[in-house]
Amino acid sequence: MSDLPERLSLREVGPRDGLQNEEPVPTAGKVALIDALSATGIGRIEAVSFVHPRAIPQMADAGEVWGAVAPAAGVRYSALVPNLRGAERALDAGFAELEVVVSASDTHNRRNLNRSTEESLDDLAAVVDLAHDRAASCQVIVSTAWGCPYEGDVPVERVLSVAGAALRHGADSLSYGDTTGMATPSRVTRLVGETRSAYPDVALNLHFHNTRGTGLANVLAALQLGVADFDASVGGLGGCPYAPGATGNIATEELVHMVEDMGVTTGVDLEAMIDVARQAERLVGRTLPSQVLRAGPRTRTVTATPIREV
Ligand code: ZN
């Protein structure tokens, strides 16, 4: 385990990816969640997305949420955008870090963004240029990087070609999204390895959903290849109980709990993150899937009560 990264950069995506896949919650609750996350030691928070309110009503109050958040020193906040209009809104709201999403699967891209992957890649160049003109950075997220619910497996060559186009268009970094939880450790090893061979200097973030229980195993496979940048959502937010098969991201506190015990630093206060997971549960009004939230960290002990003599 000696060649694992010493330190991870984690991005908390519960307020965006999580809440966008839950029943809508009040604006004040979103603001309180982001502010609580800001106090856990996490380095980055994806706060909102600027999407059309008809497409994702859960994010209709993105501007209000961001206007009410108290930005913390030492935390980088970002916004996800689907297109140029969303990028303009995010930049006008004051974000200096954008993420723009394109799907490696054409069918998924059409369902999600109403156009082909090729058309999204053309639009993406304008988004990156606009971000740079306004002194912001722009990450390109390649979603369905390990598979598509409509097309099945997405060939590695296809993902590499979409990633290559994003880099040619000026993307500052890349993220691979396992949107529907189809990644397994061997598939992570292959895609990350081939990405490193094709684009040795790329800054790469990985975004896993725990849909099929392989989330943390996928993280371990990536850690062993030196990947040090992951998304996670507090409590494992994001599996809407009304959308069959929808499952949240890997839970932030589970990721922190595992890697810190392996000697990998995250900067996150685990107990504080567990407290925020409890807050997230109250916010969405349902039990969240995080097992570290249920059981507590492995170092937590209970007081032994004397056995009564009979
Ligand atoms: Zn996601």
**Tens of pLDDT along 106-160?**
999 898 888 899 998 989 999 999 999 999 999 999 999 999 989 999 999 999 9
Residue 2 belongs to a domain = no
Distance 107 CA to ligand 1 centre (A): 17
Residue 300 belongs to a domain = no
Residue 30 belongs to a domain = yes
Distance 306 CA to ligand 1 centre (A): 47
pLDDT at 259 over 70: yes
Residue 310 belongs to a domain = no
Distance 78 CA to ligand 1 centre (A): 15
pLDDT at 145: 97
* CATH number of the domain where residue 228 is located: 3.20.20.70
pLDDT at 242: 60
The number of C-alpha atoms within 13 Å of 265 and in the hemisphere containing its C-beta is 5
Average pLDDT over residues 290-299: 95
Query: Which residues are designated catalytic?
Result: 240
Distance 302 CA to ligand 1 centre (A): 36
Distance 278 CA to ligand 1 centre (A): 21
pLDDT at 240: 63
Which tokens in the block code for residue 165? 């186009």
Residue 277 belongs to a domain = yes
CA–CA distance, 310 with 5 (Å, rounded to integer): 55
Distance 248 CA to ligand 1 centre (A): 7
Residue 1 belongs to a domain = no
Residue 52 belongs to a domain = yes
What would the DSSP string read from start to end of 84-101?
HHHHHHHHHTT-SEEEEE
Phi, psi (deg, nearest 5) at residue 14: -55, -45
Looking at the structure of the chain, the number of domains it has is: 1
The one-letter amino acid at 218: N
Dump pLDDT digits (tens) for 16-68.
Answer: 999 998 999 999 999 999 999 999 999 999 999 999 998 899 999 999 999 99
pLDDT at 276: 98
pLDDT tier at 222 (50, 70, 90 boundaries)? very high
Residue 213 belongs to a domain = yes
pLDDT at 241: 59
Q: Which domain holds residue 32?
A: 9-295
